[in-house]
């Protein structure tokens, strides 16, 4: 029942692999790349060929099957994380944790892990909720809004400022720098460089300040964390700040944006989540599986045969997690969004030693934003006259989500500086 | 050396008697015997919470309390209970003989 239909249209799987570019998947008539990902999965399943060679970006292996991706992620000796992102982001400091291998990775991970456990991230819940309501106040009387730009984008930037102990009104700067690192450098590296230098200077200043006046934020606790007498070096702290920015903002914004788009037309799902708010947590995980925002890369360290293909040391590998998380060998009815899916072992946040450090934070963030938003705007539709936009790149998702709804009333809570700065930023953009 | 036997009750209710050795963790003993439901994807580094079990009977051992890291991870498991432990954080000692552990329905 879950196997792909035997009558699937003939496609040239080898050509699909050869043309696979994780930064630029083809967008279908629904405005998303999901028809392409599903077609790719069906073709791979039909030929039982879950690994293939792409000619893009200097050539690399593409892995589309769930067990194959799972095996590679867990094999930290056979596959290096130094190739987690390619082409590489335009940063001069290595991306702490994400690009590190053992034993350096585990040493750093143990220093920061506790700060990202639920007991430590729940302290930000109240501030997150407040920011959602302030942002909603900004458009609730209008009866229309682009909730990609005005809700999904700002919340992760505001949260990142909170957890790093940075001024909330600097949120728009983070957006500006992240865009320079993740998108602009591909098309205009010279234009991106000064922005990235500016970001490092900003972090230098912040780290120096936190060393003298530690706060209760995550960055302060990381600066002062000690395991077996070891602390993070200054360069590592810079790399860590960058990782928090890139990892914290892009993935969360895309997950929230895509979810708001889905809830805009999936009335049944929306009604169900309004009636059963306790299902929101599981729904967020299913949305992560169903619309997995990002693939992850590796570099082969030891000759390894996976899915019938022998990979040689030094070769690049891209784990096509958006496709692998729709593998029928792991997930029953993979193309159905089932919020009560039992034992949902999706790989959207990785697994094994490198499992996403912010996994509890992103789950809480998405749950709170969606729940609070639905309390204010329980009934809305996608605005057919507006422009939907799926942003591609290393991290993909809906970034422009125009909606219409019955105007409501403001709660009138005083607007925080973070939200204020963001609204000014958005009105200029 | 007296042998140490641990009993794991898997999510289907089936019992698995596992021989364990001092120096390994309870998680390693379970993985060696391929007890269903013990995933331990991080390999014993206390960062994934997928070797979670409920201690039903502690054998002759008084287990030391979980440290901060383990306690924080346990809170992140789907259904934590007072008798929850991460098996990667329990070193096998001779007085664990007879310990009974229940594997939760899901580690996610």
pLDDT tens digits for range A367-391: 999 999 999 999 999 999 999 999 9
A428 pLDDT higher than 80: no
**The two structure tokens encoding residue A373:** 């938003």
Q: Cis ω on the peptide bond leading into residue A87 (within 30° of 0)?
A: yes
Question: Does A267 contact chain B (CB < 8 Å)?
Answer: no
A276 pLDDT higher than 90: yes
CA of B23 vs chain A CAs: smallest distance (Å)? 21
Question: Does A127 contact chain B (CB < 8 Å)?
Answer: no
Give the pLDDT score at A183.
Answer: 83
Give the pLDDT score at A429.
Answer: 58
Give the pLDDT score at B58.
Answer: 78
- Helix or strand run (H / E) with residue A298: strand A296-300
Report the chain B residue with the minimal C-alpha distance to residue A363: B76
| Residue A118: CB atoms within 10 Å | 16
CB A423 within 8 A of CB A138: yes
* pLDDT above 70 as % of chain A: 97
Distance CA A136, CA A408 (A): 10
Q: Render A206-239 in DSSP notation, one character per residue.
A: HHHHHHHS--SSHHHHHHH--BTTB---HHHHHH
Backbone angles phi, psi at B23, to 5 degrees: 105, -25
A421 pLDDT higher than 90: no
Per-domain boundaries in chain A: 13-428
Q: Is A351 left (phi over 0), alpha (psi -120 to 50) or beta?
A: beta
Asked if A113 lies within 8 A of B47 by C-beta distance, the reply is yes
Per-chain mean pLDDT for chain A: 91
CB A62 within 8 A of CB A307: no
Distance CA B94, CA A87 (A): 52
Asked if B45 lies within 8 A of A120 by C-beta distance, the reply is no
Give the pLDDT score at A4.
Answer: 54
Chains A–B, number of C-beta pairs less than 8 Å apart:
44
Question: Does A189 contact chain B (CB < 8 Å)?
Answer: no
The helix/strand/coil state of A277 is: helix
The distance between the two most distant Cα atoms of chain B, rounded to a whole number of Å, is: 38
Report the chain B residue with the minimal C-alpha distance to residue A74: B41
A154 pLDDT higher than 80: yes
Only one residue has tokens 């022998």, namely A310
From chain A, the residues in CB contact with B66 under 8 A are none
**The two structure tokens encoding residue A392:** 């591609």
Confidence grade of residue A224 (pLDDT, cut at 50, 70, 90): confident
Question: Does A351 contact chain B (CB < 8 Å)?
Answer: yes
Half-sphere exposure (Cβ direction) of A63: Cα atoms closer than 13 Å: 30
Which candidate from B43, B73, B106 shows the least CB-CB separation from A353? Answer: B43
pTM: 0.91
CB B74 within 8 A of CB B53: no
Q: What is the pLDDT of residues A188-202, one digit of tens each?
A: 888 888 999 999 999
Which candidate from B45, B68, B106 shows the least CB-CB separation from A343? Answer: B106
Asked if B41 lies within 8 A of A352 by C-beta distance, the reply is yes
Question: Does A103 contact chain B (CB < 8 Å)?
Answer: no
CA of A108 vs chain B CAs: smallest distance (Å)? 12
A1 pLDDT higher than 50: no
CB A411 within 8 A of CB A419: no
| Residue A24: CB atoms within 10 Å | 14
Asked if B72 lies within 8 A of A117 by C-beta distance, the reply is yes
**The two structure tokens encoding residue A323:** 């496709």
ipTM score assigned to the predicted complex: 0.76
A270 pLDDT higher than 80: yes
Q: What is the pLDDT of residues A345-373, one digit of tens each?
A: 999 999 988 989 999 999 999 999 999 99
Distance CA A353, CA A76 (A): 8
Going by the DSSP 8-state scheme, the letter that residue A309 receives in this structure is: E
- What is the fold, at CATH topology level, of the domain defined by A13-428? Cytochrome p450 (1.10.630)
Asked if B45 lies within 8 A of A106 by C-beta distance, the reply is yes
Confidence grade of residue A110 (pLDDT, cut at 50, 70, 90): confident
CA of B44 vs chain A CAs: smallest distance (Å)? 9
CB A163 within 8 A of CB A190: no
Q: What is the pLDDT of residues B25-79, one digit of tens each?
A: 999 999 999 999 999 988 888 888 899 999 998 776 678 899 988 999 998 888 8
Confidence grade of residue A186 (pLDDT, cut at 50, 70, 90): confident
**Structural domains for chain B:** 4-102 (3.10.20.30)
Asked if A120 lies within 8 A of B76 by C-beta distance, the reply is no
> Taking a contact as any Cβ pair under 8 Å apart, which residues of chain B between 30 and 89 contact chain A?
41-43, 45-48, 68-69, 72-73, 75-76
Asked if A343 lies within 8 A of B76 by C-beta distance, the reply is no
Quick one: three-class SS letters along chain B?
CCCEEEEEECCCCCEEEEEECCCCEHHHHHHHCCCCCCCCCCCCCCCCCCCEEEEEECCCCCCCCCCHHHHHHHHCCCCCCCCEEEHHHCECCHHHCCCEEECCCCCC
B1 pLDDT higher than 70: no
Q: Cis ω on the peptide bond leading into residue A170 (within 30° of 0)?
A: no
Q: What is the pLDDT of residues A45-70, one digit of tens each?
A: 999 999 999 999 999 999 999 999 99
A7 pLDDT higher than 60: no
* pLDDT above 90 as % of chain A: 64
Q: What is the pLDDT of residues A204-214, one digit of tens each?
A: 999 999 989 99
Give the pLDDT score at A233.
Answer: 87
Distance CA A385, CA B52 (A): 50
> Taking a contact as any Cβ pair under 8 Å apart, which residues of chain B between 3 and 32 contact chain A?
none
What is the arrangement of strands in the sheet containing A79-80, beginning at the earlier edge strand? Answer: A51-54, A60-63, A316-319, A296-300, A79-80
Q: Which sign, positive or negative, has the C-alpha torsion A83, A85, A86, A87?
A: negative
Report the chain A residue with the minimal C-alpha distance to residue B39: A352
Give the pLDDT score at A5.
Answer: 52
Report the chain B residue with the minimal C-alpha distance to residue A281: B78
**The two structure tokens encoding residue A133:** 């309501």
From chain A, the residues in CB contact with B106 under 8 A are 342-343
CA of A352 vs chain B CAs: smallest distance (Å)? 4
A237 pLDDT higher than 60: yes
CA dihedral (A172, A173, A179, A185) in degrees, to 10, reads: 160
CB A380 within 8 A of CB A370: no
CA of B67 vs chain A CAs: smallest distance (Å)? 11
Asked if B45 lies within 8 A of A344 by C-beta distance, the reply is no
Give the pLDDT score at A3.
Answer: 54
Distance CA A356, CA A240 (A): 13
**The two structure tokens encoding residue B53:** 């079990």
Asked if B41 lies within 8 A of A360 by C-beta distance, the reply is no
What is the arrangement of strands in the sheet containing A144-146, beginning at the earlier edge strand? Answer: A144-146, A402-405, A380-382
Question: Does A278 contact chain B (CB < 8 Å)?
Answer: no
């Amino acid at each position: 029942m879950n196997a792909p239909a035997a009558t699937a249209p003939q496609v040239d799987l080898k050509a699909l692999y050869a043309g696979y570019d994780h930064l630029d998947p083809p967008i279908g008539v629904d405005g998303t790349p999901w028809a392409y990902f599903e077609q790719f999965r069906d073709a791979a399943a039909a030929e039982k060929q879950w690994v293939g060679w792409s000619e893009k970006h200097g050539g690399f292996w593409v892995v589309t099957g769930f067990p194959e991706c799972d095996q590679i992620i867990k094999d930290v000796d056979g596959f290096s994380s130094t190739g987690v992102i390619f082409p590489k982001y335009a940063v001069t400091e290595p991306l702490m944790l994400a690009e590190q291998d053992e034993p350096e990775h585990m040493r750093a991970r143990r220093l920061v892990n506790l700060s990202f456990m639920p007991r430590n991230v729940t302290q930000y819940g109240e501030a997150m909720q407040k920011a959602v309501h302030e942002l909603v106040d900004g458009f609730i009387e209008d009866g229309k809004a682009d909730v990609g730009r005005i809700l999904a984008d700002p919340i992760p930037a505001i949260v990142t400022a909170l957890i790093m102990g940075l001024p909330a009104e600097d949120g728009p700067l983070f957006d500006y720098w992240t865009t320079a690192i993740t998108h602009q450098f591909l098309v205009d590296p010279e234009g991106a460089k000064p922005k990235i230098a500016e970001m490092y200077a900003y972090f230098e200043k912040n780290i120096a300040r936190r060393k003298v006046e530690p706060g209760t934020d995550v960055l302060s606790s990381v600066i002062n964390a000690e395991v077996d007498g070891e602390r993070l070096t200054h360069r590592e702290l810079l790399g860590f700040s960058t990782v928090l920015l890139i990892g914290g903002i892009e993935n969360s914004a895309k997950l929230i944006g895509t979810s708001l788009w889905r809830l805009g037309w999936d009335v049944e799902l929306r009604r169900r989540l309004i009636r059963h708010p306790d299902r929101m947590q599981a729904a967020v995980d299913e949305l992560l599986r169903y619309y997995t925002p990002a693939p992850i890369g590796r570099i082969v360290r030891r000759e390894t045969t996976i899915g019938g293909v022998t990979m040689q040391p030094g070769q690049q590998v891209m784990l096509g997690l958006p496709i692998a998380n729709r593998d029928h060998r792991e997930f029953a009815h993979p193309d159905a969004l089932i919020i009560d899916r039992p034992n949902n072992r999706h790989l959207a946040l990785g697994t094994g030693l490198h499992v996403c450090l912010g996994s509890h934070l992103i789950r809480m963030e998405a749950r709170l934003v969606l729940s609070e938003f639905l309390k204010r705007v329980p009934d809305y539709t996608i605005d057919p006259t507006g422009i939907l936009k799926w942003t591609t790149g290393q991290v993909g998702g809906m970034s422009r989500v125009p909606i219409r709804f019955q105007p409501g009333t403001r709660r009138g809570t005083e607007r925080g500086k973070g939200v204020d700065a963001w609204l000014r930023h958005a009105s200029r953009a | 050396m007296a042998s140490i036997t641990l009993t794991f009750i898997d999510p289907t209710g089936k019992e698995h008697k596992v021989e364990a050795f001092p120096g390994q963790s309870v998680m390693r003993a379970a993985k060696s015997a391929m007890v269903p439901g013990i995933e331990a994807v991080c390999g014993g580094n206390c960062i994934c919470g997928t070797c979670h079990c409920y201690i039903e009977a502690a054998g002759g051992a008084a287990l030391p309390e979980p440290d901060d890291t383990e306690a924080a991870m346990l809170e992140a498991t789907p259904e934590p209970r007072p008798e929850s432990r991460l098996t990667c954080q329990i070193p096998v000692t001779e007085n664990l003989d007879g310990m009974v552990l229940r594997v939760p329905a899901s580690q996610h």
